[in-house]
Chain A
Amino acid sequence: MADKRITIEAARYDPDKDERPRLQSYEIPFYDDSMVVLDALNYIKSEVDGSLSYRWSCRMGICGSCGMMVNGTPKLTCNAFVRDYWPRPITVQPLNNFPIIRDLVIDMDDFMHKLKEIKPWIIRKQEIPLGAGEHRQTNDQIDDFRQFSQCINCMLCYAACPVYGLNNEFLGPAAIALARRYNLDSRDQGLKQRLPVLADNEGVWECSFVGECSVVCPKGVDPAKAIQQTKLDTTLRFVLPYGNRD
């Protein structure tokens, strides 16, 4: 193990100095079989080049910080294992389809605005008082929306989405999946308030159903399904007088 090496080709870009991103090559020890691409970046930053910039935190696939393009595929670098690429070099680039702030750091403010637009909170016609206790909800009812509640906002689906790549006005996979999460929650009555954004020109109808979003999701969320289901919601709204819960 001790003498194994791995080459990391990392994207570098500093807006103060560079016109466009370039790749920089680092050859480092492949020191442990459990090593992930994020460990390799941390090794570079700690031992070789302190100026390499990227985001990370939990290193357990739940905070959503460390998404990058690894050999052209959107991945959480904390669970992309070096052993799966070695001995070939590993190219690490910022997530596709986003403006680049620096090196491997993308600008995701666009998503933060979209998240707010879909009103990702429980909407009720009448709030029940705290003293009345919890809403009753069965585990089966939770199963209706469970997978959509697993989204960690890691942005891999936006990086994989060809529609978002062409038109960043598109609401996009994660935001629609999260809208679906609330629309399917038995406690929620906000479908009608969310539909205008979902049914808008840049909403669900923009999706051409490539389905890459669901393929790359590290948490088993199926945004493509959420989008298709929501298309039905937006249609039934006009067809059936009582076609949706409000």
Chain B
Amino acid sequence: MLTTPNRIRWQVDFESYDVLVVGGGLAGIRAAIAAVETNPRVRVGMVSKVYPMRSHTVSAEGGAAAALRPEDSYENHAFDTVKGSDYLADQDVVEAFVREAPVEIIQMEHWGCPWSRDDDGKISARPFGGMTTWRTCFAADKTGFHMLHAVFQTSLKYPQIQRHDEAFVTKLLVEDSRCVGVVALDMKTGRFDAITAKSVILATGGLGRVYAFTTNGNICTGDGMSLAYRAGVGLKDMEMVQFHPTGLPFTGILITEAVRGEGGYLLNNEGERFLKRYVPNKMELGPRDIISRAMITEFEEGRGFEGPHGKYLHLDVRHLGEKVIDRKLPFMRELGREFVGIDIVKEPIPVRPVQHYMMGGVDADISGATPMAGLYAAGECANVGLNGANRLGSNSLPECLVFGAAAGRAATEYASSVKPVTSNPVDALLWDEAHRVEVAFLEKKGGTERMGAIREEMQHEMDQGAGVFRTKEGLEKLIERLGGLRERFGRIKIEDSSRTFNTELTSAMELDFMLELSQTIAVTALARDESRGAHARRDYPERNDEKFLKHSLVFSRDAAKPRLEYRDVHLGDFKPQARTY
């Protein structure tokens, strides 16, 4: 370690791996294990800004879809996914996904995931929104929690996987247009490290914290998307943001779709199951985008309840009875009791639509490869073309497994074909990056803007301008306001000058990422003059296949005006048709 006059701590020797995974959630750990299983001699690094078991995968509740049951088929799962995506999914990707998902669910079973079982001891399944049959495998209503702990604990048996816990990645190392590692700030020591690798997999999760009302944890700040974007890689379909119908008012805590899968009712203030006017054939098992819009419409037409934290509707499971609730939805009862003070066996649950998931992400193909050599992406931070304009509930956990594993294999293959990284440019890149962070944040003097205020305003503006319904005027205003916030961000005040576990510094870098990503959401949403899936424009209420059966791609040019491109969707057997349920 060198101590320089301006106190930057940085490392002279660097760790070097074959494959480096950024992110320790379900996709990242699955990728790391796949790398080792592809080649047992491979050295895998895993860098995560939190201990892996803190990753937001823990908050996934309802289940993981896979066509495992004899009455189900790949084709049905594929069709449901493509229709759910409003035909913006790439059908070759969907095809691969539905075939791999059952294998991955069995793999998780072998790794100890405590899947809930049928009477014959086989993995059970429950109905879920937009799925035409029971195919959502579950571990009570803590599926993500159990999957993450099972896969993380399993990963501990592989000595080839070396973890760097609580290290915050600030930049991708790029040499001759090839990704060769990252710069990471070690939280405990405050030291900047270059961690190099022959290939890098981004698996950093979603960006829900750009919104005020979100189910996402504090760590979901889109880091990997921003890292790739800054390195020149395109972000795909960023206008496609999922709003889950049932979040608890005030906290945004997720009430799982499994509540409706198990037979819960959504009721308005007249006690009416209002979805009969929106998705009559599916009712509570309609897809998330349509139900969220139906709920907002109910609010606008005066059929919502008024509460201290805004309007809400009722999600009622009382008719299911205590036994079913305790067996299938125990965590929901716990959340109701602990966070709202209600017993869901006896009282309806107050809910309203809440930002939940990002369909958009780092442009990646079916194997997780991005257009940049050596760079891969998987899980929520990636867009491999699976979810299109609206992800079906319970497709994201198997997506983490299927495409995490695919990226792990592809990155390992790539690593075996290229030469090791040399220290020559890495040292200079590390120094530059440590210096950048130092000047931009730690050594900054005379800042006046409170970071918390900028973050809250950004979140408020995103809720207002890029929510369930969007308009041209709202999005233009949003872009302008985000520009103002970006300018104010240049004058932020950092009070914490410590090198040890400086969370104000990491929060500032996260806000920097989020301001950038908010802009990509707003810009792509403004450019898509149609309504498709989760992207609902009041001024363009119809889908326009002629013009917009295409993925959007956004590239960094300057903060105010990113560059947009469009790319044709990979169509297949399923021709676009009207999406009714």
Contacts and interface: CB of A to CB of B under 8 A. Distances in A.
Given A137-B117, A153-B53, A53 B503 contact: yes
Given A51-B496, A62-B145, A65-B54, A34 B250 contact: yes
Interface string B114-152: 111101111100000000000000000010011001000
Contacts of A119: 156-157
B59 A60 contact: yes
Contact of A135 (B109, B154, B455): B109
Contact of B495 (A50, A115, A178): A50
B56 A122 contact: no
Contacts of B503: 45, 53-54
B188 interface: yes
A57 B121 contact: no
Nearest to A188: B112
Interface stretch (A99-107, A160-168, A199-207, A221-229): A99-107
Given A105-B501, A182-B112, 10 more contacts: A16-B500, A34-B251, A53-B502, A63-B55, A63-B59, A102-B498, A112-B165, A122-B112, A134-B122, A142-B114
Nearest to A102: B501
Interface string A119-159: 11110000110100111111100100110011011000000
Nearest to A133: B106
B490 interface: no
Contact of B217 (A49, A63, A139, A153): A63
25 contacts: A34-B250, A46-B450, A55-B50, A57-B56, A58-B218, A60-B339, A61-B335, A63-B53, A63-B54, A64-B58, A79-B338, A79-B339, A112-B51, A121-B112, A121-B154, A122-B111, A122-B112, A130-B103, A130-B106, A137-B117, A138-B119, A142-B117, A152-B53, A182-B112, A188-B112
A142 B146 CA distance: 13
A169 interface: no
Interface of A: 14-17, 32, 34, 45-47, 49-51, 53-65, 79, 101-103, 105, 107-108, 112, 115-116, 119-122, 127-128, 130, 133-139, 142, 145-146, 149-150, 152-153, 178, 182, 185, 187-188
B253 A59 contact: yes
B499 A121 contact: no
Contact of B59 (A58, A105, A178): A58
Nearest to B254: A60
B110 A130 contact: yes
Contact of A57 (B50, B107, B453, B493): B50
A174 to B, nearest CB: 11
Nearest to B117: A139
Contacts of A34: 250-251, 339
B219 A57 contact: yes
B494 interface: yes
A134 B137 CA distance: 13
B280 interface: no
A138 B154 CA distance: 22
Nearest to B108: A134
